[in-house]
Amino acid sequence: MKELIGMSLSELKEKLDKKEMSTVELVRAYLDAFEADRKHEKPLNGYIEVFRDSIEKAEKADEARVRGSARPLEGLPFAVKDNIVIKGKHATCASGVLKGFCSPYSATVVKRLVDAGMIPLGRTNMDEFGMGSSCEYSIYGATRNPVDRDLTPGGSSGGSAAVVASGQAPVALGTETGGSVRTPASYCGVYGLKPSYGTLSRYGVVAYGSSLDQIGILAKTPQDIALMLSFAAGADPHDMTSAPTNFTNCSPLKERDIKGLKVLLPTEFLGEGIDPGIKQKVESFAQWFKKNGAQVDTDSVPILQAAVAIYYIIAPAEASSNLARYDGVRYGNRVRQTANLEEMYVKTRSEGFGKEVKRRIFIGNYVLSSGYYDAYYKKAMQVRTLLRREIEKVFSKYDLILSPTSPCPPFKLGEKVDDPLAMYLTDICTTFSNLALIPSLSVPVGTTGAGLPVGVQLAGNRFREDLLLEVAAMYHKEGSR
């Protein structure tokens, strides 16, 4: 029998509904998996903290089931990235500056899932404030890849991907500013959805780049993502950028006819810098589309080449402003032995932030400073508008954009940590969808010749998450991976 911790959320839901197991048994299984892993000579370090009160919550869920008052997702556990707040729990964004911060409220998405019956299992590790692609820039140390513990799980939601891939949680929330859900999903061999900007409320997500940030979902199947989305999405009065979309009908996913779909394969994501093993996986996904009657065109969309450059101006610019609030006065940690207020600010920030976060603050302040604003920030904003228009044009002709998720397979821990440019370049295929506000899904498609997980990315028009998930489910079902 497939072990509990290897099951998808939907399989677990069925087992709970049929009373084939208790919630306590289930939650224990994940906590035990976590404890067992801690004894490994190289622990995964996917969780920063597991919540012991999840057992009590599981007991309550079991009682509700006995009473016949179980809610739709009663007793199903999930993990939460450390930059999404949960009432009464710490949230640190893996940063020294927020050490000790305890949240007085829950993020809307967390609240909606908890109101539907789900149980938060713990907080997952990440790159500090979401800045990174390898889950190494964390005060809690790096997370390891469950497939090979000497490799990165990807970042910044590396902890979320690692706990799902290793059976320490059935599903997890991550966040995306420029690939932080999709990259780790692809490196760990799970599904990762970055929804359209506005699909999920950002209320309770610690801001990094507010015009790009979005909660994402990591899971073992597209159906599991659809199930979560159906409860978590929808307008939120606390977040004016949330959209009045309705995903309540997206689960269960419908059968999708692949025939007649129009798919674009941009040459920009198949050329130089793309690992040949990954390229081959993208091409075989294109073959699967064709075999099932879709039209697949290969064509150039030149502006896609600019995405990563625009991103690394806009994201740091927004971050430099968003992170100004961590000055030791209101949140988290404060350095106390200082002569005056100015010194308190300086020491708190100098000691609290890690080196990558500081680099982003420097870049952000530079591109926003007078004399450079027009050349960098303003120019990046203009090119972003052009990119959005080009993407709109693509979707007036096509249903989907197909590409690699990452240009490379998971790399060794330590390999790129001192080479920021190399690290930034791992984001070349993902950032365009954040800039264009569209949804994208990383689909696990097996491994390279060397046995390393590969993710293929499907991007769709804004609010077409349903299409991405349905297509992926058809692919998943055929076991073509």
Asked if 250 and 466 count as a contact pair (C-beta separation under 8 A), the reply is: yes
Shortest Å, Cβ 415 to ligand GLN:
15
62-100: b (≥16 Cβ within 10 Å) or e: bebbeeeebbebbbbbbbbbbbbbbeebbbbbbbbbbee
Burial (Cβ within 10 Å: 0-12, 13-18, ≥19) of residue 11: middle
Residue 177 lies near ligand GLN (rule: CB under 6 A): yes
What span, in angstroms and rounded, lies between the C-alpha atoms of 211 and 222? 26
Question: Three-state SS for 273?
Answer: coil
Of the CA atoms within 13 Å of residue 290, those in its CB half-sphere come to 11
* Cβ proximity to ligand GLN, 8 vs 431, nearer residue: 431
Which of the ranges 177-185, 198-206, 246-254, 396-404 carries the binding residues for ligand GLN, by CB under 6 A?
177-185
H or E element, residue 231: helix 222-232
Within 401-460, the residues that bind ligand GLN by CB under 6 A are 427
Closest CA to 188 of 210, 168, 209: 168
Rounded to the nearest whole angstrom, what is the least distance from the CB of residue 127 to ligand GLN in the complex? Answer: 7
Question: What are the residue ranges of helices labelled H in 292-340?
Answer: 307-322
Quick check: is 81 catalytic? yes
User: Taking CB positions, which residue lies at the least distance from ligand GLN?
Assistant: 180
Rule CB under 6 A: say whether 130 interacts with ligand GLN.
Answer: yes
Please give the Cα distance from 41 to 445 (Å, whole number). 29
From candidates 156, 320, 433, 461, binder to ligand GLN by CB under 6 A: 156
Query: Annotated catalytic residue: which of 81, 194, 281, 416?
Result: 81
Rule CB under 6 A: is residue 176 a binding residue for ligand GLN?
A: yes
Position among 26, 48, 315, 443 found at the interface with ligand GLN (CB under 6 A): 315
- Candidate residues 95, 133, 320, 440; the one interacting with ligand GLN per rule CB under 6 A: 133
Q: Does 180 bind ligand GLN (CB under 6 A)?
A: yes
Stretch that binds ligand GLN, among 53-61, 127-135, 296-304, 389-397 (CB under 6 A): 127-135
Enter the DSSP assignment of 24. Answer: H
| Choices 37-45, 131-139, 231-239, 388-396; region in contact with ligand GLN by CB under 6 A | 131-139
Closer CB to ligand GLN, residue 29 or residue 215? 215
User: With binding defined as CB under 6 A, does residue 136 bind ligand GLN?
Assistant: no
The C-alpha atoms of residue 417 and residue 135 are separated, in whole angstroms, by 10
Annotated catalytic, 211? no
Looking at 122, 178, 407, 444, which residue binds ligand GLN (CB under 6 A)?
178
For residue 93, give every residue at least 6 positions away whose Cβ sits within 8 Å of its Cβ, in sequence order, or none.
82, 83, 126, 128, 129, 130, 206
- Residues of this chain that bind ligand GLN (CB under 6 A): 130-133, 156, 175-180, 208, 315, 427
Q: Which residues are catalytic?
A: 81, 156, 180
